[in-house]
Amino acid sequence: MATKLPRPPLDGLKRQIDRYRQGQKGAHNPAFIRETFCLSREDARVKAREWFDAFPRAAYWTEIESWRRLDDERIEFTMRRLSSAD
Protein backbone atom coordinates (compact mmCIF):
# COMPACT_ATOMS: atom_id res chain seq x y z
CA MET A 1 0.00 0.00 0.00
CA ALA A 2 1.47 3.33 -1.08
CA THR A 3 1.33 6.23 1.31
CA LYS A 4 0.03 9.46 -0.03
CA LEU A 5 2.62 12.23 0.17
CA PRO A 6 1.49 15.59 1.54
CA ARG A 7 1.17 18.40 -0.99
CA PRO A 8 3.91 21.00 -0.79
CA PRO A 9 2.96 24.42 0.54
CA LEU A 10 2.21 26.87 -2.27
CA ASP A 11 2.54 30.09 -0.28
CA GLY A 12 5.97 30.93 -1.69
CA LEU A 13 4.85 30.30 -5.24
CA LYS A 14 1.73 32.42 -4.75
CA ARG A 15 3.87 35.30 -3.40
CA GLN A 16 6.19 35.08 -6.41
CA ILE A 17 3.24 35.14 -8.82
CA ASP A 18 1.72 38.14 -7.01
CA ARG A 19 5.04 40.04 -7.13
CA TYR A 20 5.40 39.28 -10.83
CA ARG A 21 1.86 40.43 -11.59
CA GLN A 22 2.32 43.64 -9.59
CA GLY A 23 5.44 44.40 -11.61
CA GLN A 24 3.58 43.81 -14.88
CA LYS A 25 0.70 46.22 -14.30
CA GLY A 26 1.12 49.03 -16.78
CA ALA A 27 4.79 48.18 -17.17
CA HIS A 28 5.18 47.97 -20.91
CA ASN A 29 8.77 48.37 -21.93
CA PRO A 30 9.02 51.77 -23.64
CA ALA A 31 11.67 50.36 -25.96
CA PHE A 32 8.91 48.37 -27.68
CA ILE A 33 6.16 49.74 -29.87
CA ARG A 34 2.92 47.77 -29.89
CA GLU A 35 -0.04 48.10 -32.19
CA THR A 36 -3.23 46.05 -32.07
CA PHE A 37 -5.29 45.27 -35.17
CA CYS A 38 -8.63 43.58 -35.78
CA LEU A 39 -8.84 42.43 -39.40
CA SER A 40 -10.12 39.66 -41.63
CA ARG A 41 -7.76 36.67 -41.83
CA GLU A 42 -6.37 37.68 -45.22
CA ASP A 43 -5.94 41.34 -44.25
CA ALA A 44 -4.26 40.27 -41.01
CA ARG A 45 -1.70 38.26 -42.98
CA VAL A 46 -1.03 41.25 -45.23
CA LYS A 47 -0.63 43.62 -42.27
CA ALA A 48 1.74 41.25 -40.44
CA ARG A 49 3.81 40.86 -43.63
CA GLU A 50 3.98 44.67 -43.94
CA TRP A 51 5.42 44.90 -40.43
CA PHE A 52 7.96 42.14 -41.03
CA ASP A 53 9.02 43.75 -44.32
CA ALA A 54 9.29 47.26 -42.87
CA PHE A 55 10.89 46.19 -39.58
CA PRO A 56 13.01 43.05 -40.11
CA ARG A 57 12.87 40.62 -37.22
CA ALA A 58 16.65 40.45 -36.81
CA ALA A 59 17.02 44.20 -36.29
CA TYR A 60 13.73 45.16 -34.60
CA TRP A 61 12.75 41.93 -32.81
CA THR A 62 9.44 42.19 -34.64
CA GLU A 63 6.88 39.61 -33.59
CA ILE A 64 3.21 38.87 -33.32
CA GLU A 65 2.91 39.22 -29.57
CA SER A 66 -0.59 37.75 -29.26
CA TRP A 67 -3.54 36.85 -31.44
CA ARG A 68 -7.02 35.37 -31.24
CA ARG A 69 -9.84 34.52 -33.62
CA LEU A 70 -13.06 36.40 -32.89
CA ASP A 71 -16.57 34.99 -33.32
CA ASP A 72 -17.02 36.85 -36.60
CA GLU A 73 -13.91 35.12 -38.02
CA ARG A 74 -11.77 38.26 -37.77
CA ILE A 75 -8.33 38.07 -36.19
CA GLU A 76 -7.34 40.38 -33.36
CA PHE A 77 -3.57 40.55 -32.98
CA THR A 78 -0.85 42.70 -31.46
CA MET A 79 2.39 43.39 -33.30
CA ARG A 80 5.48 44.35 -31.31
CA ARG A 81 8.83 45.77 -32.41
CA LEU A 82 11.73 47.76 -31.02
CA SER A 83 11.36 51.49 -31.48
CA SER A 84 14.74 51.67 -33.21
CA ALA A 85 17.40 49.33 -34.47
CA ASP A 86 20.67 50.65 -33.11
Domain containing 62 equals 31-86
**How far apart (Å, rounded) are the C-alpha atoms in residues 76 and 70?**
7
Q: In what order do the strands lie in the sheet with 63-69?
A: 32-39, 75-82, 63-69
Name, in order, each residue with C-beta under 8 angstroms of 68's C-beta and a sequence gap of 6 or more: 75, 76, 77
Q: For the chain, what is the mean pLDDT?
A: 84
Calculate mean pLDDT across residues 52-62.
92
Q: What does the pLDDT look like over 11-47, one tens digit per residue?
A: 777 788 777 677 655 555 568 899 999 999 999 999 9
Looking at the predicted structure, is the pLDDT value of residue 68 above 90? yes
Looking at the predicted structure, is the pLDDT value of residue 49 above 90? yes
| 70 CB burial (10 A radius; 0-12, 13-18, 19+) | exposed
Considering the domain boundaries, does residue 84 fall inside one?
yes
Considering the domain boundaries, does residue 7 fall inside one?
no
Domain count, the chain: 1
Q: What residues pair up with 67 in beta bridges, in sequence order?
A: 77
